[in-house]
Structure 1
């Protein structure tokens, strides 16, 4: 209790203090009102890289472990929170990347503020969110895909759900999800909803011993609003992380990649049913009635960035890889997981 009353969380915290603060947040004996007050104070400023890393490490220490993953495994988890209501671009990219030989161990959850979260979409597609870790590890070997449902690996965060809901504002926990993959994949494509989060999130990733390469990305839509994904409407800023070092920012411009401006709001979905329909249209390819070319283009861009991470190519030649991904999407693709058997009625 002393820690929370003698340190002002609005100021940058030493790493040890941040770790202790996180441990108190998840302690059942810590007063909920005090936790809420500290989370509200932390939300008033952009966290620093060492704080994010310390918070994430403290949570990872008490997480349910996951078996080791392949040395070239990739995650496409983003922070969410951009309010754009776009289709599930990073999740759809995660489902396509295994067809290019990329093992994907995706970490995700249900929607907190958006229309349809990664877990919501996968569940609607028939994925078993309760699949045991041993089976998921085998899936990675045989199908190159596993989805790690966040609540199954971070049960101690359950007590904070109601506190965060009552606060009604984004908190530090909205940023920590992409840093908490229990599989610790060595490659990561991480989208952030705000441009001022690029440097601290990249810096936090750079502090992870298990990470080899990452792209931290932030896009702008046609109206200049921030997106936690690469954009086909406006520029995308990329911070590369390689072997513990954060590179200077680079900017991707859609027209320079051969991407034509899409119709207004072409990437948006209104509810989970529409998100599911858009996904199924993508699986069916260009001949499917629900195939949306702008969504396919946006997914192809996310896939291209994932392929460049996997192939260790930097951003050079991204336009060529984008065309490669487009051709695969035009043909359609199958789900990289086996659906559970149907129980007779």
Structure 2
């Protein structure tokens, strides 16, 4: 316990200290109140890239391994913590991209502080969260999609779930989740809830040796509040990571893509039931009673970023890609996995 009592967690941690601290967090013998207090302290400042990378590396050391994702595979994920209670845009995008020929290795969990986590939605759609590794490999080959349920690969983090729930605030683990995909996909679209997180998250991704390209994104809603996704209401800042380098930020504006201002509550969901209904609407297309045009806009925008990344192109072509994908969503799409008990 010397580390926690003699080192001020508010100051940046050396990499070795960050690594040691993470091992203390996941040690079953560490007092939960002490872990909670330390997480609360860490939440008071923006972590640095080297700290995030060290934390993630320590967790990979004790993770259950998964085979390397195939060439061109992508993960689309957000840190959460924006309080916007939007539909599961990253997950819906991850389900849409395989229909465009993009392999997806989606890593996710149940909601810790939000309304509906990616795993909550996947389970509601009839996806078996306990699928064996061999089945997931076959899914990637045959269907271009696999969902890796975080607790199956990071079991030592289970004890922290209740601590995080009781704290009721975003913690360092909201930031680490997107860095812990056991499939190590070479591509990633990663949304952050706060603008000041763009640089450290991009820097942490740049340190991942198996990552080829990424977009770290931060959107603003109509009132200027931060979103951990590309926004259809306000500007979105995009920081590209390419072959270990963090590039200069770029900004995309909805009106320049032809996106009209939506109703301010068009993307919001109140509970898991509504999140599932919104998902059904997207799968069913414009003819479905639950189809929300604004959600289709948002999914098309996230998917457009994923497709640009997959193709190795630039944001200059995003407007046309967005229009094409938005038109495709009018017709709905088939999920890249068999559902049980729930129909779209």
Instruction: Give the TM bin, normalised by the shorter chain.
Output: over 0.9
Deviations 1:203-251 (A, max 9, x none): 0000000100000000001111111000000000010000000011111
Going from structure 1 to structure 2, the CA distance change for 1:290 and 1:165 (only over 3 Å counts) comes to: closer
2 CA distance for matches of 1:35 and 1:85? 27
Match of 2:198 in 1: 198
Partner Cα separation in structure 2 for residue 227 and residue 166 of structure 1: 23
Instruction: Give per-residue Cα distances to partners, 1:296-327, cap 9 Å, x unaligned.
Output: 01100000000000000121110010011112
Give the Å deviation of 1:341. Answer: 8.6
Give me the CA root mean square deviation: 1.2
Separation in 1, partners of 2:289, 2:33: 51
Q: Secondary structure at the match of 2:106?
A: strand
For residues 288 and 32 of structure 1, the distance between their equivalents in structure 2, rounded to whole angstroms, comes to: 47
Q: Which secondary structure state, in structure 2, belongs to the residue aligned with residue 275 of structure 1? A: helix
Q: Could you list the runs of 4 or more consecutive aligned residues of structure 1 that deviate by over 3 angstroms after TM superposition? A: none
Q: Tell me what 1:314 maps to.
A: 314
Superposition deviation, residue 31 in structure 1: 2.3
Q: Partner residue of 1:325?
A: 325
Give the aligned partner of residue 15 of structure 2: 15
Counterpart Cα distance in 1 of 2:279 and 2:166: 32
| Equivalent-residue separation in structure 2 for 1:33 and 1:339 (angstroms) | 41
Separation in structure 2 between the aligned mates of residue 206 and residue 218 of structure 1, nearest angstrom = 17
Residues 137-192 of structure 1: CA deviation (Å, up to 9, x unaligned): 11001000000011111100111122222323221111100000000000000000
For 2:38, what is the secondary structure of its paired residue?
Answer: helix
Aligned to 2:292: 292
TM-superposed deviation, 1:112: 1.6
Please say if 1:180 is aligned against 2:180: yes
Q: How does 1:112-151 map to 2 (within 5 A)?
A: 112-151=112-151
Partner of 2:303: 303
- Is the CA contact 1:115–1:271 (under 8 Å) kept in the aligned structure 2? yes
Asked if the contact 2:113/2:165 (under 8 Å) is kept, the reply is no
Corresponding residue pairs, total: 342
Which structure 2 residues correspond to residues 1-345 of structure 1 after superposition, within 5 A?
A: 1-340=1-340
Contact 2:235 2:253 in 1 (8 A): yes
Contact 1:308/1:318 (<8 A) preserved: yes
Alpha-carbon separation, structure 2, partners of 1:296 and 1:221: 16
Between the aligned partners of 2:100 and 2:202, the Cα distance in structure 1 is 26
Q: 2: CA distance between counterparts of 1:138 and 1:236? A: 36
Quickly say closer, same or farther: Cα 1:106–1:152, change in 2 above 3 A. Answer: same
TM-score where L is the length of structure 2: 0.97
- Structure 1-normalised TM-score? 0.97
Mind listing any 5+ residue stretches in structure 1 that lack a counterpart?
Answer: none
Q: Give the gaps of 5 or more residues in structure 2.
A: none
Give, in whole Å, the separation in 2 of the partners of 1:212 and 1:139. Answer: 23
